[in-house]
Amino acid sequence: MRPVRTAFAGALLGTLVLAGCGQGGTSASPSPAPAASSPSAGTPATGFPVTVEAANGKVTITEKPQRIVSLSATHTETLFAIGAGPQVVAVDDRSNFPPEAPKTSLSGFKPNVEAIVAQKPDLVVVSDDLDDIVNELGKVNVPVLHEPSATTLDQAYEEIEELGAATGNKAKADEVAAGMRTSLDRLAAEAPKNAGLTFYHELDQTPYAATSKTFIGQIYAMFGLTNIADKAPDAAGGYPKLSAEFVAQADPDLIFLADVNCCGQNRDALAGRPGWKDLSAIEKGHVVELDDDIASRWGPRVVQLAETIGAAVAKAGAS
């Protein structure tokens, strides 16, 4: 059995990043397999039943799901990217991409069993096991895949492939994951070498940051950047709260903001903070406004995040 994955930003992103990131969670007891109602096992025509090993153990899905409910914004993006969109009947209130996703009032933060069951799902996908939702749905024979926030790119690829297998879209899912690998490898190879640039990634304006040990930190590491948050006093947890003085003294070459849509942060707002007006990144125009959602999710649009980072690195290196 593969190790259970920890949260992308855990409870921190759940409370600070209001743009709807998926949240990770802890391992739960394996959900019971649904009642056997499928045709003979493993027929070449359907590929079902299939067994997927998720964070909640081995989950057997007897027939190709036709009524999928997603309670994770990241997994909603993935389901549509791998061709499972027509099978999705409801998504949570933070799933805002793609626009055609059937958004509802369902919550991934406060899951309601009755409301979920009312959608008549034959598969529910979650990135958290809040309120013991995996076990509660299992009691009514609803198969659940618990796919927590990825902590590495390999884990992100793995989840995409697992969702493909679980929904009958394995070939397309494998294609999406392979395309991500290829694109990210290319972007890393094209990045300027030995740029020696430092950066600060802001989760929210308090300000919380992310270290190189986090999923987002590993994306930045692809471009050879030095993360100022790695030297923060409480960096061990991955998401230290930095003081304004700490950032001012570090004077990063690049500042990336993941609190633009949620919190209205931009270059001018940063310049108004005590001691920040003369920061190199602000003076030289190397403050990058990220899409909050893309910067907080670990699905296929990670490539877009890496493209934005790569372009900023190239610009800063040339200045």
What is the arithmetic mean of pLDDT over 137-146?
97
What pLDDT shows up at residue 165? Answer: 98
Give the predicted TM-score (pTM) of the model: 0.86
CB burial readout 291-300, b (16+ within 10 A) else e: bbbbbbbbbb
Q: How confident is the model at residue 8 (pLDDT cuts 50, 70, 90)?
A: very low
What pLDDT shows up at residue 237? Answer: 93
Contacts 24+ apart (CB under 8 A), 91-98: 94/19, 94/20, 94/21, 95/20, 95/70, 96/20, 96/293, 97/73, 97/293, 97/301
Query: DSSP readout, 251-285?
Result: --SEEEES-HHHH---HHHHHTSTTTTT-HHHHTT
Pick among 3.40.50.1980, 3.50.50.60, 3.30.360.10, 3.30.70.20: CATH of 10-181 = 3.40.50.1980
What pLDDT shows up at residue 193? Answer: 72
The string of pLDDT tens digits covering residues 31-44 is 333 333 333 333 34
Which sequence spans correspond to the domains of the chain?
A: 10-181, 191-318
Residue 136 — φ and ψ, nearest 5°?
-65, -40
Cα distance between residue 216 and residue 83, in whole Å: 26
The CATH number of the structural domain formed by 191-318 is 3.40.50.1980
The string of pLDDT tens digits covering residues 235-282 is 999 999 999 999 999 999 999 999 999 999 999 999 999 999 999 999
Fold equal for 10-181 and 191-318: yes
The string of pLDDT tens digits covering residues 219-228 is 999 999 999 9
What pLDDT shows up at residue 283? Answer: 97
Cα distance between residue 113 and residue 117, in whole Å: 6
